[in-house]
Amino acid sequence: MRLAAQVPSGSRDLLGCGFAAEGDMSMEWSLRLAFALLAVSGLFAEVFGAAGPVRPERQADRILDSFESETPLYGTWTRGKATSKLTARTGYAKEGTRSLLVELEPSADKKGRHSLNMVWRFDPPADWSAHDGLMMWYQSQTAKSPGFTVNVIEEGGANYWLHVRPKPRMAGKWQAIKLRHDAWQWSWEGPEDKDKKLDLSKITQLRVEIRAAAEERVVFSLDGLGLYNEPPPYAGPVLGLSCTKDGFLRPPGKDYTLVVQVSRLAAGKETTVELHGVDYWGETKLRKTLTFRGEEGVDKLPNRYINFANDGPNYIDVRGTLHMDGELLYRAERAFACIAPQQEEDKKANPNSIFGIWVGGGPWGIGAKWTRTYCRGGDVKLVDGKYQFRDNPPGEYGPKADPRLSYTFYFSMMPKWLSSKPDRADWQKWSPKNWDDYDKFLQWVITGAKAGGFTHYEVWNEPVPYAYWMGPMESVVKLHEVTYKAIKKVQPDAVVLGPCPYSFVWDYIEEYFRLGGAKWIDDVVIHAYSGNPDIDFAANLRKLKAVMAKYGIGDRDVYITEMGYSTPGVTEREQAQFMVRAYMYAWSEGVRLLTWHMLWDYSGAGDPGHAILRHDHTPRPAYAAYATMTRVLERAKHLGSVDGLSRTQRGFRFEKRGRTIRVLWDTEGESRLTLSPVTSIEVVNLMGGISSLQPANGKLALSITRDPIYVVTEE
């Protein structure tokens, strides 16, 4: 089959189709995302969330710095070779008449990090105890919204911190950053604080630290730095959107049912609810206006049930707004998806599959054949000489593998009673005080895991110094040696995986192998958080293989047990696109397994955003995209790349049960692709919809966009 590609001039951008993210993400930002940093960040201030009461914008109740003073109220210093510039912007502000423009210029160094520190000193110590938290107005001047760290220091020097991750894709728009006082965390890097509790009545310093890669330029504005109190709880009417007990996911042929709930509407008051549902492609699937009237003594009005058509595999995003007396008071959102089932043959367990997903595990009707589980040392106590896992009876440990799935089983957190630094806040990251005792502990865990059906073990989750491990690289290699030997004593045929960095951290990977780490693993495991997969993901995989070959293990398999994209960092549409693209690149480079992180946002506190299934069990578009990908490609054989594509087009060929499958997309927008000669063709879109197309004179012209499609032909 011959392929001829054409790229029309003025290719249109296909982003921004009505999902929760505000505004389109520019290509520049897409290429520059620092996902590895987001993956390992510790604590974040909450700055996300669209659903809920619509509250008026509020300034700080007590201003600490409005940046109006001719003489700055703060001092500065830099680390590394940073060059910074701080400029008052007159006539452009959220508080008063001026704001502060912060610029951190790149240095000549191509590696490393530098930072700018701004510090406010309080003498005598300030009393913040009458307020709920610290706030500031933030505005990114570039497509990227760089984060920063805020520290408060109490009298005596104890240091408490939070990492701020501003809402992305809001270049040129002010956003309020709020840091609640009850969220500050003690930093072990500062002086000891016996009670590990911030004394809000004796604050001596406030520090903002902006860190960046040496080659990175950071530009943003600050204003209205001050203290705030939470407003009174919202007391108006509440809108809820849910579904019937059969859930938010539907098989083909079963229509959707939206349940609309209004509560706390005062007697005699009337409110209108506007509903608008669009599919992944922007087509309206539901539009309806409802009226509710409050009743005496009734807190929750009777539910309204809205049925709307299920036209087949697709994703539907429904938004509801509640208005009273012409004022918008409340927003609610829910999503539905139609998922086509896999063929019976493809539903069976398959340890040779590349498709994994975690956190959440379980088939969930999505086609994953692998997942991940773990034993954390922090969950194990030593009771009368016996190991006790959580609330189990001492000595008993019996994890069970689901026979429908294969697993990688990882270790993390040194038990506190084994840690060589039990008095530190980060005790779980340190080597054991006695390696022989750790070996005995591991053998106990592995004995239980073996009995439960587990066969693949990751030595440690991200043991990169200062991430989830503290100590020199020699101790990382020792960790692998002791773990490898313990596993092989108990389960000689088990597969041991390492060294598991959080991304392609080349200095760490090279040093691990240089120190002889290859001897203590059977295959290589890595976490692959990174930027747009079209940019350098495949190249990084090839580089990893080259490093492995350099140290004599080029023939061993590569497992990726975490990779994903957080929807605060990318649009939900991009999350779905990037996921499929990443799998195609991994498959083409011979990756043994790619376990997507993650299935379900297990925490409802702000929805971490990495998952393809929200905390409320509603799908993101990536959920439908994952189900489509596994339905089409489970048990397929990779044949190679598609020939004849343009510069911006990507394509991979597969064979499955006598049919050829081509996965195609355009990295920059929209282009045309002509297939010939063909007699019949089936096209499966990213959400699973199927089109049967008939070529004219043996030729068929296709539109290729950023959304991967599956072109299936009989050959």
pLDDT digits (tens, 9 = 90+) for 198-238: 999 999 999 999 988 878 888 999 999 999 999 999 999 99
What is the predicted pLDDT for the residue at 14? 23
Please report the pLDDT score of residue 141 as a whole number. Answer: 85
* Helix, strand counts (H, E) of the chain: 9, 40
Give CA torsion, residues 162, 168, 174, 175, to 10 deg: -40
Q: What is the CATH number of domain 369-507?
A: 3.20.20.80
Cα–Cα distance measured from residue 262 to residue 298, given in angstroms and rounded to the nearest whole number: 11
- What is the C-alpha separation between 523 and 556, in angstroms, rounded? 5
- Predicted confidence at residue 88, as pLDDT, reads 92
Output phi, psi for 625, to 5 deg: -65, -40
Domain 2-14+638-714 sits in CATH at 2.60.40
Q: Give CA–CA dist 32/286, Å, rounded.
A: 36
- Give 372's DSSP letter: E
What SS3 state is found at 18?
A: coil
Neighbouring C-beta atoms of residue 507, cutoff 10 Å: 11
Delimit the domains of the chain by residue range. 2-14+638-714, 56-228, 238-338, 369-507
Cα–Cα dist 149/187, whole Å? 12
What is the predicted pLDDT for the residue at 656? Answer: 97
For the chain, what percentages of helix, strand and coil (3-state, to nearest 5) are there? 15, 35, 45
* Helix H or strand E encompassing 53: strand 52-53
Q: What whole-number distance in Å separates Cα of residue 677 and Cα of residue 697?
A: 8
pLDDT of residue 302: 97
User: For 608-617, what is each residue's pLDDT tens digit?
Assistant: 678 999 988 8
d(CA 523, CA 518): 9
**How many residues can be counted in the chain?**
715
Show Cβ contacts of residue 85 under 8 Å, excluding neighbours closer than 6 positions.
101, 103, 105
Return the DSSP state at 303. P
Same fold: 2-14+638-714 with 238-338: yes
Q: How far is CA 575 from CA 301, 569, 612, in A?
A: 37, 9, 8
Sequence-ordered list of residues with C-beta below 8 angstroms from that of 700, at least 6 positions apart, any chain: 674, 675, 676, 678, 681, 693, 694
Provide the CATH number for the domain formed by 238-338 in this structure. 2.60.40.10
Give, for 40, the enclosing helix (H) or strand (E).
Answer: helix 35-40
Please choose, from the candidates 689, 684, 688, the residue with its C-alpha nearest in 3D space to the C-alpha of residue 709.
Answer: 684
Q: Cis peptide leading into 499, omega within 30 of 0?
A: yes
Contact 645/638 with Cβ under 8 angstroms?
no
- Separation CA 686–CA 337 (nearest Å): 12
What is the pLDDT, as a whole number, of residue 31? 27
- The tokens describing 511, both together, are 């040093």
Q: Can you give the pLDDT at residue 94?
A: 92
Q: Which CATH class is domain 56-228?
A: mainly beta
DSSP code string of 232-300: PPP-S-EEEEEE-TT-SEE-TT--EEEEEEEESPPTT-EEEEEEEEEETTS-EEEEEEEEEE--TT-SB
Query: What's the rounded Cα separation, in Å, for the pair 310 and 297?
Result: 38
Within the chain, which residues score under 70 in pLDDT? 1-50, 110-111, 361-364, 605-608, 715
C-alpha–C-alpha distance, residues 146 and 167, integer Å: 9
Rounded to whole angstroms, the Cα distance separating 534 from 700 reads: 26
Structure tokens at 697: 């004179």
Per the DSSP assignment, residues forming a β-bridge with 497 are 458, 523
Q: Which amino acid is at 512?
A: Y
The H-or-E segment that residue 548 falls in is: helix 533-550
Q: How many CB atoms lie within 10 A of CB 599?
A: 25
